[in-house]
Structure 1
């Protein structure tokens, strides 16, 4: 194979593809090394130094410098994830933002016409789905924050929907329920335990001879200083293109990361929940979504593309989200969304969940805090505002 198809030489003799960043060396790093925007992306596909050059004899010579010779040219924009996958935002708490205020919300009340909850009447299920959390696990993140990932089954589809939970006060009732014939090890393995797991632990509850007593745990989780209003909640629909393959057609990846960052701020004592629904493409699926992308390149906007494919502009349903929030014992929440019509949809047919505040999700680039800009995402946001009623500042859109 031509030498130009290979990237950095690894210790085992193999080479990474040229668009991979180099592995960090063993030398000490400063506190700035974690800043992705100033990182060393030296071996990108767009860096000529990462390809092979020909010497005077026409022979191909590898010109990749050693790891001790840093290169600073960034990769082309097409390879950069606007959300930097894996996410760089959850739990980011440097001395400069450790005391950052939890975002303020706008009070809403769906029980009155002027309650700030949109004008549409969302399609609500008469009866909420039945959901069950079958397993939970602690997830340490790349930035130091921790979350608990809950996996749910339900009686309406065969998909595995998820709840990403921040904070120690939020628990699943169906997970904690005792199941017939299960052992203590069964409970530990499926995540139905209190406190922390450690090698040699044999009981799902905290016993008197553990380092942390149940009374101490209860005081820690339910003390007055630890409860500050309803938790911050985001209902997030799966977006493979925006979260995984660096798409600049939408801001879904950025919204997921920013929601996680806000929920894991040190002073967000109420915790947070991201309900991650497997509703790709606003409910039409990945294949149809890719067709819609092609229609967008032919001149349609996101709403028109869905309609041309004989799908609703938005085919999503939020009954599963409501049921999952109920299982997590939530009655009042602060909803992180720009879509006021989502408020009533999440509350359920009989307001099983009450949204007390709507917290805006403003693109980072609009606030001058990084993020990304692209013609596609700007058109996407413009359509959301003009045709779907999302509450974003039109004056902030580039002209």
Structure 2
């Protein structure tokens, strides 16, 4: 018995300090005795784990149950730009057309604002990543909430019209400090415009776009209740591929599908009591999904994007992102396939399995999988 504990401790010594110790299934802690007697029995109102699709299986190739923690093979923050052949592969895409009933854009009618919000990019900065890939982070303000929404732009051909607009009384140094420059900054530079740098604004191929809602727990707190962190990293990986025309991740501050972090944590407790993610929101008197995408549409307009390829597994999001008058047209829907679905590491836990099951069964998501 002591030898088993020593092996567990040796395994844990290789994990980063923010991981919990490996679970010991034979010695659960803080579980009431009457609950121990019921462990292993399926919830009476829930299908058993065997009903999960094969790509949501929670068993390893040796048949052992996987521990409910984030795999050390994939830890946030994971910046894009890795160059292994398997990760240089682009995701599959299908043409969509929301102007016709069978255009592959889902059956729901999303909530659309009659008038798009007014957005302004107030600052832009170059962000070098740990793998060498560069991106430009754009911070936006708007006239509908007090939050700072973001656009993460890959490539140097996508620019913000509100950022580039001349502002009264500003100097050339003011413009460079807020990011309204062309080319690259360097010590001693005195002008925001460089000769010949207007070529940056040339139109490129239809860009890949991801509309991503903030998830503090999945992106920062290493949560295995969802795959939001993996999806964010996968979007960045695709936009940083060699030969890619770049892309935009619109990062909206819509925590917990729009209900906020505090209510989201309450929903987590309800999930531990037996509810799924949709049921938990409704029990807290919130919609299953309270998000709106008008801000994303307005930000894409400001970035000069009238036609995009949308990276999503939710066909209903296509029409929601296009805006009330199709200000932004989605030409293709690109499948989102994070690492865990490929069997290449990533999150594997009972919680994320139930989370993905609910997305399929109750929210109409089309979860694709790559097996190669």
Fold match (TM-score > 0.5): yes
The equivalent residue for 1:171 is 159
2:330 matched to 1:349? no
Of the candidates 283, 290, 299, which is equivalent to residue 308 of structure 1? 283
Rounded Cα–Cα distance in structure 2 between residues aligned with 1:235 and 1:83: 22
Deviations 1:226-265 (A, max 9, x none): x3x3100000000000000010000000000010010011
Deviations 1:322-364 (A, max 9, x none): 0000000000000000000000000000000000000111232
The equivalent residue for 1:235 is 211
Quickly say closer, same or farther: Cα 1:42–1:136, change in 2 above 3 A. closer
The equivalent residue for 1:92 is 82
Quickly say closer, same or farther: Cα 1:199–1:394, change in 2 above 3 A. closer
Rounded Cα–Cα distance in structure 1 between residues aligned with 2:165 and 2:312: 32
Quickly say closer, same or farther: Cα 1:299–1:103, change in 2 above 3 A. same
CA RMSD of aligned residues (A): 2.5
Quickly say closer, same or farther: Cα 1:287–1:275, change in 2 above 3 A. same
2:117 matched to 1:129? yes
Quickly say closer, same or farther: Cα 1:185–1:219, change in 2 above 3 A. closer
Cα distance, 1:370 vs structure 2: 1.9
The equivalent residue for 1:339 is 314
Alignment of 1:363-382 (within 5 A): 363-382=338-357
Cα distance, 1:392 vs structure 2: 1.5
Q: TM-score normalised to the size of structure 2?
A: 0.80
The equivalent residue for 1:247 is 223
The equivalent residue for 2:174 is 186
Larger radius of gyration: 1
The equivalent residue for 1:260 is 236
Q: What secondary structure is seen at the aligned counterpart in 2 of 1:242?
A: helix
Q: Is the 8 A contact 1:80 1:246 kept in 2?
A: no
**Structure 2: runs of 5 or more not aligned:** 1-11, 23-66
2:247 matched to 1:272? yes
Rounded Cα–Cα distance in structure 2 between residues aligned with 1:221 and 1:105: 26
Of the candidates 266, 286, 292, which is equivalent to residue 291 of structure 1? 266
Cα distance, 1:144 vs structure 2: 1.0
Quickly say closer, same or farther: Cα 1:362–1:378, change in 2 above 3 A. same
Q: Which 4+ stretches in 1 moved above 3 angstroms?
A: 40-47, 76-83, 217-223, 393-396
Quickly say closer, same or farther: Cα 1:132–1:82, change in 2 above 3 A. farther
Deviations 1:116-140 (A, max 9, x none): 0000000100000000000000000
Rounded Cα–Cα distance in structure 2 between residues aligned with 1:118 and 1:82: 34
The equivalent residue for 2:146 is 158
Rounded Cα–Cα distance in structure 2 between residues aligned with 1:305 and 1:263: 34
Q: Is the 8 A contact 1:79 1:246 kept in 2?
A: yes
Cα distance, 1:101 vs structure 2: 4.2
Cα distance, 1:87 vs structure 2: 1.6
Rounded Cα–Cα distance in structure 2 between residues aligned with 1:155 and 1:42: 42
Q: What secondary structure is seen at the aligned counterpart in 2 of 1:260?
A: helix
Quickly say closer, same or farther: Cα 1:394–1:198, change in 2 above 3 A. closer
Q: What secondary structure is seen at the aligned counterpart in 1 of 2:147?
A: coil
